[in-house]
Structure 1
Amino acid sequence: MTNVIALSICIPTYRMGAFLPKLLDSILTQLEDDVEICISNNGSDDDTDLVIGRYATRFRNWRYFRWPQNMGIDLNIEKSVELATGPWCWLMGSDDVIAPNSLRLVKERLQSATPDCDIILANRRKISVDAHPIESEDEQWFPSYADGDIVSLRGSLSGDYYSRSPSLGCVFSYLSTIVLRKSAWMAAEGFRRFQGNQYMHTARLVAIVEGGSRLMICKHTIVHCRYCAIPLDRTLDRLLVDFRGFHEIGEALVPDPTNRKLLWSILVREHPFRSFIRLRELATDDQWKEIRRLLRSLCFSRWRILGIVVGARWVRVRSRYYLIKHHIKMKLRGLVV
């Protein structure tokens, strides 16, 4: 007899052959017959295909698709959901692992979801590349809400939610804490313009909640996020992905100007002031002109932007001071010898 699927775990992957086994093992230890695995492989050229071959027979409900080439993360996420046959989809990064007992917890939340609740959003815990905890406590993205609260973001209520959100994870930036109703995902409109900016899935979910669907808060940690520091040469690009992506989402999908500003205010809470100073340090003068225009449109005051510029100059002066000091010290040591 064919099982009725209650939950599809949707895994877009690309060159994650080294980490995918850990994720699949974490699912296997909790697996139930009404859960299926849906993997979309973005044309990986590592050993991902070998991993898929080893695990395909270990799962009763297994759906797999392989692109002939890398189509970008946005289309790969979309394909992983298209593969799903269940009514609910748990989006999952292929280098993460699900937390102990989280599969049972997610299924309990599905049973308590009201008909107009189309998204469940949960917490995460950061782990190192070798799976050791980075922080002593799990991240807490929903300090203003109780576990199980079902929140409306329609109209002015979205501004209230955005103003209480300490992290971009509260607005769907992080894949593996999102569980969604597939029918709402497939029916969403107004997000295609975001393809290629790495936040098309975020735009799609913002469109869903701004359109009237409600969101359930799960304050439990359901996933362990493999986290590593961004290399210096990628810091500028990473920050710009956030700023450009959420600026575009706000302009296109949040019609109320006040709510839009409150959405953008999450960027300030997500990134400490030193991140903006780092942004100015790394940017060329031409890049900074674009960034300054972007920050102004994100409601940064001229005084705040001036503070960023002054802070960056101070960092440069201080760095040069210590460099000169070190150089003089080395010269004096040479004279003594």
Structure 2
Amino acid sequence: MTARRRVAPKLPRKGPGPCIRTVGNGDMFAMHVISLCIPTYNRASLLSELLDSILEQDCVDAVEIVISDDASTDATALTAEAYRPRFRHFKFISQPANIGIDGNFLAVVAAATSPYIWLMGDDDRLEPGGLRRLLEAIERWPQAVGFTLGVLDYDVTMSRPVGVRATPPTQVMTGATAVFSSMPELLGFMSALVVKRDHWNSAIADPTIGAVRNYYVQVVILGRILGESGQWGVIQTPCVGFRTGNDQLQARHGWLDRLKIDAQAYGEIADLLFPHAPETRAVIRRRIFNAHIMARITNAKTMPAPTEGVASAIVFLAKTYGTLPAFWTRALPMLLAPKWSIRSARGFYKKYIRSSGARRASLGRSASGH
């Protein structure tokens, strides 16, 4: 099926700014429309950056903030509570014991009460105007069960753009096959996902959802929501800023196990959602390899520290992706090449090739006058 186009300082609360658009006889944003759902763990300082970026949006009163703290041992609770008076709609949940990434993910969404839920990483941020772009898309396409949002990648300090995620043009797609064939690599990034809450709640009633423990439970839920005829909106303009170099799973497991998590999780998801569609599974497999797997390899080969586990990575990838020509022409040569050569080639590509994400981010920033 083809896509069919159609502890933070207690500062005074900032006003919401003008909310111009109305629906029917009243203000569209008189009540909160979107629950910004933030699962968090031990990231107090980064959480405050995210909340500040939300406060900078106009129409902030259209948002309900829902934070679920997964038994953090830092100042997360104090940081979050300092923001309570600055938001009109605010919930903070403190889990008595750590329930894991997938469990905390489901818990924060379960506490939301808005018609739409926006899943948000605790170390990311909203781009200027991102909230309004989403609200306008919701008004334009009320039939859409959810949205994928454009993403601008930053360095670890969030001070310098380093890339723009390749996102399809702004449009509406129909059905899980069209969405997963066009952008499966974008569906795992939760900060770029918005879903109708009632559809989410219906989907998680499926008992197979509770058995998913691969760190990407949201992707399975989206597939269930879409089915054959669900409509999915795409907003290409960046609405979210992503902090690179801050992956908790990689810090915990190392680059090779992090790579395996992506490969195995998306393989499981493809089998679960498309058991009778080998063509769709093949497309997902190829796109995940080209996006996630190659990114993991590139990061491992350009980081300053020695890249451990190259031989194990070659064996694993040969078994998992050996039938893909790109494994032999791209992944294997990169894994075997000296690190200095990969760093040099990567630097040249990012600086001079206009199609690179870094170059597009630089050109976009220059065009906007930043």
TM range (shorter): 0.7 to 0.9
- Aligned twin of 2:278: 257
Between stretches 173-182 and 229-238, larger displacement belongs to 229-238
RMSD across aligned C-alpha pairs, in angstroms? 3.1
For the structure 1 residues 211 and 15, does the alpha-carbon distance in structure 2 shift closer, same or farther, using more than 3 Å as the test?
A: farther
Counterparts of 2:283 and 2:38 in 1: how far apart (Å)? 31
CA shift, 1:178, in A, is 0.7
- CA distance in 1 between counterparts of 2:112 and 2:231 reads 22
Partner of 1:300: 324
TM-score (norm 2): 0.71
Distance 2:241 2:295 in 1: 27
- 1:8 counterpart SS class: strand
Give the Å deviation of 1:212.
2.9
Residue 201 of structure 1 aligns with which residue?
Answer: 218
The answer to whether 1:241 aligns with 2:261 is yes
Say which of 97, 122, 125 aligns to 2:125.
Answer: 97
> Is 2:288 the partner of 1:267?
yes
Aligned partner (choices 154, 159, 173) of residue 188 of structure 2 = 173
Deviation, 1:275, is 2.2
Q: How far apart in 1 are the matches of 2:299 and 2:50?
A: 36
Aligned pair partner of 2:201 in 162, 167, 186: 186
The residue identity in structure 1 corresponding to 2:108 is S
2-structure distance, mates of 1:277, 1:224: 19
Give 1:273 deviation, angstroms: 8.8
CA distance, structure 1, for counterparts of residue 229 and residue 87 of structure 2? 36
TM-fit CA distance, 1:253: 0.9
- Displacement after TM superposition at 1:225 (Å): 0.8
1:277–1:308 Cα contact (<8 Å) kept: no
State how far apart, in whole Å, the 2-side matches of 1:306 and 1:183 are.
45
- Larger Rg over CA atoms: 1
- Map Cα deviations across residues 114-163 of structure 1 (whole Å, 9 max, x no partner): 43x2111111111223221232x632321xx3x2x1101355x45xx62x
Q: Structure 1 residue 287: deviation in Å?
A: 7.4
Q: Could you tell me which residue of structure 2 aligns to residue 131 of structure 1?
A: 158
Consecutive unaligned residues in structure 2, runs of 5 or more: 1-29, 302-306, 342-370
In structure 1, give the amino acid aligned to 2:77: D
Q: Percent of counterpart pairs with the same letter?
A: 24
For 1:19, what is the secondary structure of its paired residue? helix
Q: What is the one-letter code of the residue matched to 2:282?
A: K
- Which consecutive residues of structure 1, in runs of 5 or more, have no partner in the other structure? 319-337
Q: Which amino acid aligns with 1:275?
A: I
* CA shift for structure 1 position 308: 5.6
Q: Secondary structure at the match of 1:33?
A: helix
Partner of 2:100: 72
Q: In the alignment, is residue 42 of structure 1 matched against residue 70 of structure 2? A: yes
Q: 3-state DSSP class of the match of 2:60?
A: coil
Q: Compute the displacement of 1:305 (Å).
A: 5.5
Structure 1 residue 7: Cα displacement: 1.2
| TM-aligned CA deviation for residue 304 of structure 1 | 4.4
